[in-house]
Structure 1
Amino acid sequence: MPLKTMVGAVALLASLAGTAFAGDTPKLTELSPDGKDACFGRVYDAAHLKAHPKQKVARIFFFYGYDPVSRPNEEPGPGADTSYNAFIATTVRGAKAPEWAGGWCNHESEDGKTGPIHCGMDCDRTMASLKVDEKGRLIVNDVSPDLYLDAGSEDELGEAEYDRQALGKEDDNFRLDPMPAATCKAEFARVDPIDPALGPPLRERLKPDQAFCYGRDYDAAHLGSHPDQVTQSIRVFRAPVELASFAAGGDTANWPDGADLTISVTTRQKASKVTQTYSCQGEGDQWRCAASAKMSDLSCDITQKEVFLRRGANGTMMLANPNSSLPIVDLCSKAADGETISDDKIYRLNPMPQSACAP
């Protein structure tokens, strides 16, 4: 994912916080008789697409089971319940990667065990209706043209742009063949391919009881080419204080949720370091870290001041500061409100010896 969308992933993953949980939903034996992940899919050939000119979808896959999109990431390990138990991915003609949506499926009946299968999404939207035919194929219908668009997007985008982004008039009543679960997982992996240079996620690279230090000192040449950058030196670290805090009240099973880290910054205007503690949680493939008052003496509520950590290539770490959330300014000041307007938005940090992050 490009760096400019590093923080945008937060909105995407936040949509997973639905009110129905896979663990609370009766298992659909029609889709998965053995209770395991189930996959259905179809790739349309040129002859079919020529005969259906108003069908945009060239590839479609439906997956019933645990989240196939997030993959091993910064959230708790495999097997944890998520809000969704059903996922659909479609690739339209000419597209290089699929679009996808997640939801939850259950029977439309009081006992939740009989009747038609309905798959819903957030905001009371419908993903699809399902049934399995006599040959074990999955029939997917009631697919909305704005499956991947926001509610009310037709009015916001205008008719022409809506028609361009929405699914086609014949993108419904799909007949999908049963396939190995690995086939669906490979298809969903095309949504956001993993860069091998990134290595393991931070939650595996950085252990709960492990101190670390990442940072960067910007030289005159860099600062000269970035006149709007305030930061001269920056450190991101966990030291004995942060380790002791997690050891006293942290839950290693849900690592990195509850992990404290400290960010220290020296600006061009100030020779002394300014530090701020943040409390983190795993979210997708990044850590979302909110400013904490644990080791600060601030008069305002700073819990909405957030930064985001993501693994960079070849052992580096990326730090995003989208909303003036670093101590380059007083987090309680008006200058800290709104989006960061300087060049202090994205930092590529290198691993450093722990002594480089000493208070």
Structure 2
Amino acid sequence: MAFTGWKSAAGAGFAVLFCGLAGSALADEALKLTELSPKGADACFGRVYDAAHLKAHPKQKVARIFFYYGHDPVSHPNEEPAANSDTSYNGFLTTTVRGAKAPQWAGGWCNHESEDGKSGAIRCGMDCDRTLASLKVDDKGRLILSGLSPDIYLDPDSEEQLGKAEYARQALGPEDDNFRLDPMPAATCQAEFARIDPIDPALGPPLRERLKPDQPFCYGRDYDAAHLASHPNQLTQSIRVFRGPVELASFAAGGDAANWPDGADVAVTVTTRQKGAKVTQTYSCQGEANQWRCAASSKMSDFSCDIAQKEIFLKRGADGTIMLANPNSSLAIVDLCSKAADGKTKSDDKVYRLEAMPQSACAP
């Protein structure tokens, strides 16, 4: 039940840069660079360097490189409502350096540099007014990619932060520029980007698709004596996570199904081996990357203090299960209003794998 790898905030697939957006293209303006995509379809260019080439260019780190012009090939179906998804990027670069098991990637906005946006060189910009690359297509339809910065996957001040030696290790090499990429089927690039973060098919669709706004659900687990004996620090004897008539009525009255699961109330009932009594706490959820982030709510709660900073996280588990994470003592195992509830959870009550149960198992 160890706590591992739950996010407290949604993250990007490349360096997270806290800057304003620079020149992002609207979704309906994408795919207008006819040099890259004459018919308006997604376009793929790539190259995989053989051992002979890499031996002849010892300062080139990149062994595989692909550029995709089109719709996002990186993001998985996740828990964020469609209205919150970022569709502004239209250029995506992925490279795999020698010896690496997985690629790195960056995205940007590609447009002509001319004032009318219809002619001249093609520049792909990034956040913080950085340049992803400059592009042109030669007379054989190959993509010439130049102006690739060594710190493309790093923060702008990374050399100062990391030091010269570590910066040199993480940055691209001095010969990693002026790539000539061959046109390839879009599926080839999609498969390459899929290597970055492979989807586990056992997880199935996101919770926002499995759990409907107008339908109840009940998940839980009861721990037997043998389990509790082998986990002496675990207080939880049984746990239920559910949406019943009260939660459904609350969402129907004020929720927005188009932005589901934002605003969804979820109730959690816990029975501890010490107290033996059921304690129920309601949480208000929102979609965040691949999880629901749920803040404790005073509605339908056994506690009356301000507990909005107490959070739990819900994720889809394998084979139809749900994972609940409680990294910050935010389950009602102890009184959430007491000082004892402050700080990190020190017991085994951190991560739970919950199975689907009949709704009657979650009845008050």
Do these two structures clear the TM 0.5 threshold for a shared fold by scoring above it?
A: yes
Counterpart residue number, 1:36 = 41
Choose the corresponding residue for 1:159, options 157, 161, 164.
Answer: 164
Cα distance in 1 for residues equivalent to 2:162 and 2:9: 22
Confirm or deny that 1:207 pairs with 2:208: no
1:290-337 Cα distance to aligned partner (Å, 9 max, x none): 3334434644361x4332221111111111223333233444555555
Counterpart residue number, 1:314 = 319
Counterpart residue number, 1:117 = 122
Choose the corresponding residue for 1:223, options 182, 205, 228.
Answer: 228
Gaps of 5+ in 2: none
Matched letter for residue 145 of structure 2: V
Maintained 8 Å contact 1:13/1:284: no
Confirm or deny that 1:12 pairs with 2:16: no
Gaps of 5+ in 1: none
Choose the corresponding residue for 2:249, options 237, 244, 251.
Answer: 244
Worse-matched range after superposition: 138-147 or 6-15: 6-15
Worse-matched range after superposition: 73-82 or 318-327: 73-82
Counterpart residue number, 2:306 = 300
Maintained 8 Å contact 1:70/1:285: no
Cα distance in 2 for residues equivalent to 1:262 and 1:252: 19
Instruction: Call closer, same or farther: CA 1:334–1:194 in 2, change over 3 Å.
Output: same
Counterpart residue number, 1:328 = 333
Maintained 8 Å contact 1:213/1:351: yes
What is the Cα deviation at residue 214 of structure 1?
Answer: 0.9
Cα distance in 1 for residues equivalent to 2:350 and 2:84: 35
Instruction: Call closer, same or farther: CA 1:292–1:24 in 2, change over 3 Å.
Output: farther
Counterpart residue number, 1:192 = 197
Cα distance in 2 for residues equivalent to 1:274 and 1:341: 20
Cα distance in 2 for residues equivalent to 1:170 and 1:213: 57
Identity of aligned residues (%): 76
Choose the corresponding residue for 1:353, options 346, 349, 358.
Answer: 358
Secondary structure of residue in 1 paired with 2:10 = helix
What is the Cα deviation at residue 13 of structure 1?
Answer: 6.8
Maintained 8 Å contact 1:70/1:284: no
Confirm or deny that 1:291 pairs with 2:300: no
Choose the corresponding residue for 2:144, options 134, 139, 143.
Answer: 139
Cα distance in 1 for residues equivalent to 2:137 and 2:37: 11
Cα distance in 1 for residues equivalent to 2:344 and 2:145: 42
Confirm or deny that 1:58 pairs with 2:63: yes
Confirm or deny that 1:258 pairs with 2:248: no
1:97-148 Cα distance to aligned partner (Å, 9 max, x none): 2122223233334444444333233344332222222322222222222222
Cα distance in 2 for residues equivalent to 1:334 and 1:133: 67
What is the number of residues matched between the two proteins? 357
Rg (Cα) greater in structure: 2
Counterpart residue number, 1:23 = 27
What is the Cα deviation at residue 9 of structure 1?
Answer: 7.5
Aligned Cα root-mean-square deviation (Å): 3.0
Worse-matched range after superposition: 30-39 or 42-51: 30-39
Matched letter for residue 102 of structure 1: G
Matched letter for residue 212 of structure 2: K
- TM-score, structure 1 as length reference: 0.87
1:157-180 Cα distance to aligned partner (Å, 9 max, x none): 333332222222211222212222
- TM-score, structure 2 as length reference: 0.85
1:37-58 Cα distance to aligned partner (Å, 9 max, x none): 2222111111111111111111
Maintained 8 Å contact 1:72/1:78: no
What is the Cα deviation at residue 242 of structure 1?
Answer: 1.6
Secondary structure of residue in 2 paired with 1:203 = helix
Matched letter for residue 191 of structure 2: A
Cα distance in 1 for residues equivalent to 2:203 and 2:222: 22
What is the Cα deviation at residue 21 of structure 1?
Answer: 5.2
Worse-matched range after superposition: 181-190 or 68-77: 68-77
Cα distance in 2 for residues equivalent to 1:331 and 1:128: 51
Instruction: Call closer, same or farther: CA 1:3–1:228 in 2, change over 3 Å.
Output: closer
